[in-house]
Amino acid sequence: MTDADKPTKYRLIGLALPRHDALDKVYGQTKYADDFTMPGTLHAKVLRSRYAAARIVSIDTSAAERMPGVHAVLTARDVPRNETTSKFGQTHSAGGFEGLYRVLADKKVRYMGEAVALVAAETPETAAQALRAIDVVYEPQPGVFDPVEALKPDAYRVGEEDTNVVCSYKVRKGDVDAAFARADVVVENEYRVPFGDHVYLEPESGTAWIDEDGVLTIRASTQVIEHFRDVADILRLPHNKVRVIAPMLGGGFGGKEDITVEAYLALLAYRTKRPVKLTYTREESILSHSKRHPYVMRYKTAATADGKLVAMECELISDAGGYPFLSPWVLLYSTVMATGPYKIPNVKVDAHAVLTNNTFTSAYRGFGAPQVCFAYESQMDAVAAQLGLTPLAFRMKNYLHTGDELGTGYALESAVLTDETAERALAALGEPTKPRSPWEKIGRGIASGMQSYGRLVYLHDSSRSFVGFELDGTVVVRCGVQDIGGGQTSSIAQITAEVLGVSMQDVTVYFGDTALTPLAGTTTATRMLYMSGNATLKAARAVRDALVTKAAEMLDASPDRIAMADKTFRVVGDKDHSLSLIEVLEACASDGIPLSNLAQFNAPAREVKESANVEGQIHPDYTFGTHAAEVAVDTVTGQVTVLKLVAAFDVGQAINRLSAEGQLEGGTACGAGYALLEDVKMDRGRTVTCALDTYLVPTAADLPDVTTIMIESGGGMGPFGAKGIGEPSSTSSAPAVTNAVADAIGIRLTRLPVSPERILTALKEGQAKRDDAVSRRVPELA
């Protein structure tokens, strides 16, 4: 922890306060989705396709329907509107970014684990038996499982269209070919990253029922309560007859951004008129729900002899799996951030997302940024090595600063302190560790990253929050945030308490309920603090202004001389005159002055351009930072031990120092897992890592203590100058670790995860791409 003791101009903002939701959690009292049961609840199960690519010839549900205790068996023909063009929770028309959402497979299955039928029964066991009694006749199809193959003109068609390409984007700036011809060093590599599973500890879960007013109500683990619109459309119900409630989540990481159990539950509850509950098994979660996109990335990077980057060319191919979901958006993020936090005069990016018969891919912490960060940060080290510069020295010559343009031509407006984060991250590694044996090699690496916070400006994002005093001086906030564990509601309580001069304990935050809380948008895209924090700040300030005005009148002083803190109004410099909060509240109430305010915050907005060419501003703003890692590689076993991890970020302004630090620590850990362990293996569309002993995530014994360095530029667009940190904290962690591994063994592995097998193969065969083997010096006069 650093910068922690500096004096602050705030009462509560920036302090390390225990989160207000944590108390229930240490008592085991928090009621997550599966912890909630209604009397008379039926249990749902989902029949999933055993094939990755097949035609559905027939489905016979009659035997299942006849089973005692079975209340409903539904297939595609029972869904009022089985296909929607989902805008994926968006509050504004999303233009070219809609994707087909098919509730239940119809005629064709596009990935293994796709939902084919739903059952609701008295017990989970009966529901499972009913699934086995459903007779589906499939006609297997060849399928296509590699996105590069799927691009070929004669490839098997995954969907119903005559192409597998979901979308393509490009960025063009300057003339890369001319720059390559003139450059002193050109490095070219192909990188591959695998499917990833979120492994939120709480699997997908929810309960649906029809309430006493006939409103279809779904209480589910979701990052997007605004899927209530999708559910209503699917059932052809008016939007105001569907309500979604999100309790505290046991993690999300993007995997609960797309609809999970909501539509299934809604259909079954609507059919049976009984409460219905559905919780995925872990196996089902890994098999059937969204994954992080695997990418194939070809990078060509050029620099001058004095260490200036002159060109970067990137070709990105993303595996969208069986359905588009958020693949177009994820790809757009990758396209914009493909060249990282570097100033490069000549940029060419070509990016394609392609359907395959693999499990569908969608949002995952980082949203397309971690894939490209692994590639560009590997390239930066490879180029530095060619130039004879240290990784830090080469980066320091090329970091973007405020006012510099991205490849799209957008000039950065907010603070950019990547240099400082890099210097401090590397310094924090301290003295190098000594190898414990002759065959152990120690290596160090850094990686810098950039990651947007807030959604695409095309989405015209907004958030709303209601803040009001009760007559006893306590405060209620109503804000439709989903709390996925990052301290979302706690930060809102802290912001409110800061502005209204009360303690955090005085603030109750009602969250995540489309019927009771003003809609605040999704808890995704590192947007919640930025968007709902600003909306809450705006509402709280409006309440404060009204009260201060009244207090000023009562104290016969001008409003700008009134201080409101500790539930007291004082005239600055006048010890004798003060009013209690209650006195002012009562006066306002009697005068008809509102004690509450509903505020809306709008993010910067742009219209969608109908062009594959990505230009100008795409995101509201970016967060910049650097990870540093020290590793020990056992050259006999290929085992990597992460000895030190550092995350240094400009967080703008920490709202809750503990929460910000927790994001940095947790994000860094996830990145280390991406670097070394995590790999959803699929064999022709069949996931073979469906349990946590084959899909490995980091345990406490796999990781060192993460050192966090928070720099507070105050230059963010969030409340009090905060920047978003949830996703950025993860993005550059993986390449810091893999750069350290490359430093240790002298061989750069271009494929994640950097597993012991891959390290041993590289070491033994000695034919993995060495930096010098894959790059070439361009003759001076070429």
Q: Which one, 700 or 782, has the nearer CB to ligand FES?
A: 700
Which residues have a Cβ under 8 Å from the Cβ of 190 and sit 6 or more positions away?
A: 296, 297, 298, 299, 750
Q: Is 200 in the site for other proteins (CB under 8 A)?
A: yes
CA nearest to 647, candidates 674, 626, 632: 626
Q: Which one, 341 or 673, has the nearer CB to other proteins?
A: 673
Q: Which of 114, 202, 262, 350 binds other proteins (CB under 8 A)?
A: 202
Cα angle 453, 483, 485 (rounded to 5 degrees) comes to 85
Interaction mask 155-194, other proteins, x per CB under 8 A: ----------------------------------------
Q: Where are the alpha helices (H) located in 626-748, listed in sequence order?
A: 657-676, 728-731, 733-745
For residue 295, the minimal CB distance to other proteins (Å) is 23
The stretch near other proteins (CB under 8 A) out of 54-62, 433-441, 481-489, 624-632 is 481-489
104, 116 contact by CB (below 8 A): yes
For residue 356, the minimal CB distance to other proteins (Å) is 27
Cα angle 144, 148, 152 (rounded to 5 degrees) comes to 75
Residue 583, classified by CB atoms within 10 Å of its CB into exposed (0-12), middle (13-18) or buried (19+), is middle
Q: Which of 7, 27, 560, 765 binds other proteins (CB under 8 A)?
A: 27
Which residues have a Cβ under 8 Å from the Cβ of 531 and sit 6 or more positions away?
A: 454, 461, 462, 463, 520, 521, 601, 603
Stretch (H or E) spanning 480: none
Q: How many residues bind ligand FES (CB under 6 A)?
A: 3
For residue 128, the minimal CB distance to other proteins (Å) is 13
Structure tokens at 74: 């539904």
Cα angle 461, 464, 465 (rounded to 5 degrees) comes to 150
3-state SS track over 99-157: EEEECCCECEECCCCCEEEEEEECCHHHHHHHHHHCEEEEEECCCCCCHHHHCCCCCCC
Structure tokens at 295: 């990418």
For residue 699, the minimal CB distance to ligand FES (Å) is 12
Cis peptide preceding 753, ω within 30 of 0: yes
Q: Which of 319, 381, 621, 665 binds other proteins (CB under 8 A)?
A: 665
By a kind-dependent CB cut-off of 5 to 8 A, residue 132 interacts, out of ligand FES, other proteins, none, with: none
Q: Which one, 621 or 678, has the nearer CB to other proteins?
A: 678
Q: Is 773 in the site for other proteins (CB under 8 A)?
A: no
Considering only residues 244 through 283, tell me which ones interact with ligand FES, judged by CB under 6 A.
251
Q: Which one, 178 or 201, has the nearer CB to ligand FES?
A: 201
Considering only residues 211 through 270, tell me which ones interact with other proteins, judged by CB under 8 A.
248-251, 253
Map tokens 């879960």 to a residue: 205
Q: How many residues bind other proteins (CB under 8 A)?
A: 59
Neighbour count for residue 357 (Cβ, 10 Å): 27
By a kind-dependent CB cut-off of 5 to 8 A, residue 364 interacts, out of other proteins, ligand FES, none, with: none
Q: Is 19 in the site for other proteins (CB under 8 A)?
A: yes
Neighbour count for residue 704 (Cβ, 10 Å): 16
Q: Which of 14, 34, 327, 745 binds other proteins (CB under 8 A)?
A: 34
What is the distance between the alpha carbons of residues 641 and 503, in angstroms, rounded to a whole number?
44
3-state SS track over 42-78: EEEEEEECCCCCEEEEEEECHHHHHCCCEEEEECHHH
Q: Is 40 in the site for other proteins (CB under 8 A)?
A: no
Exposure letters 84-107 (e unless 16+ CB within 10 A, then b): bebbbbbbeebbebbbebbbbbbe
For residue 725, the minimal CB distance to ligand FES (Å) is 17
Q: Is 554 in the site for other proteins (CB under 8 A)?
A: no
Q: Is 485 in the site for other proteins (CB under 8 A)?
A: yes
DSSP reduced 3-state for 596? strand
Q: Is 201 in the site for ligand FES (CB under 6 A)?
A: yes
Q: Is 28 in the site for other proteins (CB under 8 A)?
A: yes
Q: Which one, 341 or 485, has the nearer CB to ligand FES?
A: 485
Considering only residues 491 through 530, tell me which ones interact with other proteins, judged by CB under 8 A.
none
By a kind-dependent CB cut-off of 5 to 8 A, residue 480 interacts, out of ligand FES, other proteins, none, with: none
Q: Is 661 in the site for other proteins (CB under 8 A)?
A: yes
For residue 770, the minimal CB distance to other proteins (Å) is 32
Q: Is 652 in the site for ligand FES (CB under 6 A)?
A: no
Q: Is 726 in the site for other proteins (CB under 8 A)?
A: no
Q: Which one, 665 or 712, has the nearer CB to other proteins?
A: 665
What is the distance between the alpha carbons of residues 650 and 631, in angstroms, rounded to a whole number?
25
Q: Is 485 in the site for ligand FES (CB under 6 A)?
A: yes
Number of H helices, E strands in the chain: 20, 31
Interaction mask 436-475, ligand FES, x per CB under 6 A: ----------------------------------------
List of residues contacting other proteins (CB under 8 A): 16, 18-19, 21-32, 34-35, 37, 68, 198-203, 248-251, 253, 279, 281-282, 484-487, 658-659, 661-662, 665-670, 691-693, 697-703, 705-706
List of residues contacting ligand FES (CB under 6 A): 201, 251, 485
